[in-house]
Amino acid sequence: MIEVIKSVDDLARQKWDALVPTMGALHIGHQSLIKLAKKEGERVIVSIFVNPLQFENKEDLKNYPKSIDADIKLAEAVGASALFIPSEQVMYPGNIEKISAGSIGEIYEGASRAEHFSGVLTVVKRLFDLVKPKVAVFGEKDFQQLFLIKQMVTQLKIPIKIISAPTIRDKSGLAVSSRNIRLGEDGEKVAQVISRALAKQTFEQMQEEISSEPGFKLDYLEVIDENSFEKVKTTTQNKRVIIAGWVNQIRLIDNMPMGNQQ
């Protein structure tokens, strides 16, 4: 039986091999993170906390899907040892100093979502301090977030190994996300333009594919150096395409290594 932990004291009584931070509404993508974490050790804990610091839109925070009973079953099914479900008071008992995401936190996702990455780094650092895992697993779908978390761990010399997990996609190629349930059938069809675009061989073809779907409102489409998050140069070895936009006011993001298109 999976254990549900809500207090810091109960959390601290045990040692944890791996942490999988989430905001709940778990799906097969989260389960893939847990499975990867299990390879690092038996004691895997999954945190569920909808972090108010990373929402610039209060309605988005209010509407974020919650499904604790289903989350417990999904986490238990793939071998998680425990769920850490803290209240906001437990996570932020006093004045928590927010961690700056720096200049990279202000571009792409950061340009559209002010203070978002500062909120992400702050809650992740707080979870690291409370759980003290050996490793933590994050998905590549949120690639800018993953980059900034790795950067924070390096800069602050946090003794935790960060593991990157590949993006899980449905049969159509759409990246699995908690937000997808809000798209509806028609919205999902529109959103599939993202994976079609990422599968193209050139940047120009990607742009043409996105332009062919009027229901998708593009925010950005860019090719970056995945090791620095700078725009690519002729000498760049590790290129990655990043994209974000809206379908029916629902924000979707995705990315794919350039040259790895199917």
pLDDT per position in the chain (262 positions), as tens? 899 999 999 999 999 999 999 999 999 999 999 999 999 999 999 999 999 999 988 888 888 889 999 999 999 999 999 999 999 999 999 988 899 999 999 999 999 888 999 999 999 999 999 999 999 999 999 999 999 999 999 999 999 999 999 999 999 999 999 889 889 999 999 999 999 999 999 999 999 999 999 999 999 999 999 999 999 998 899 999 999 999 999 999 999 999 754 4
Task: Please give the CATH superfamily to which domain 3-165 belongs.
Answer: HUPs (3.40.50.620)
Ranges of each domain in the chain: 3-165, 178-257
Catalytic residue among 5, 23, 24, 30: 30
**DSSP at 199:** T
- Locate the DSSP E strands across 166-205: none
Q: CB-based contacts of 77: which residues, under 8 Å, 6+ apart?
A: 31
Kindly report the three-state secondary structure assignment for every residue of 222-259.
Answer: EEEECCCCCECCCCCCCEEEEEEEEECCEEEEEEEECC
What does the pLDDT read at residue 260?
52
- The dihedrals phi and psi of 233, each to the nearest 5 degrees, come to -120, 175
What does the pLDDT read at residue 56?
83
Q: CB-based contacts of 79: which residues, under 8 Å, 6+ apart?
A: 34, 35, 38, 44
Quickly name the fold that domain 178-257 has: Pantoate--beta-alanine Ligase; Chain: A,domain 2 (3.30.1300)
Neighbours of 39 (CB within 10 A): 12
What does the pLDDT read at residue 79?
97
Tell me the two tokens of residue 84: 């850490």
192: part of which helix (H) or strand (E)? none
* Residue in this structure with the two tokens 């350039």, named with its chain if needed: 258
Q: Is the dihedral of CA 237, 240, 241, 242 positive or negative?
A: negative
Calculated CA dihedral for residues 243, 244, 246, 249, nearest 10 degrees: 170
What does the pLDDT read at residue 96?
85
Query: Any catalytic annotation for residue 27?
Result: no
What does the pLDDT read at residue 262?
44
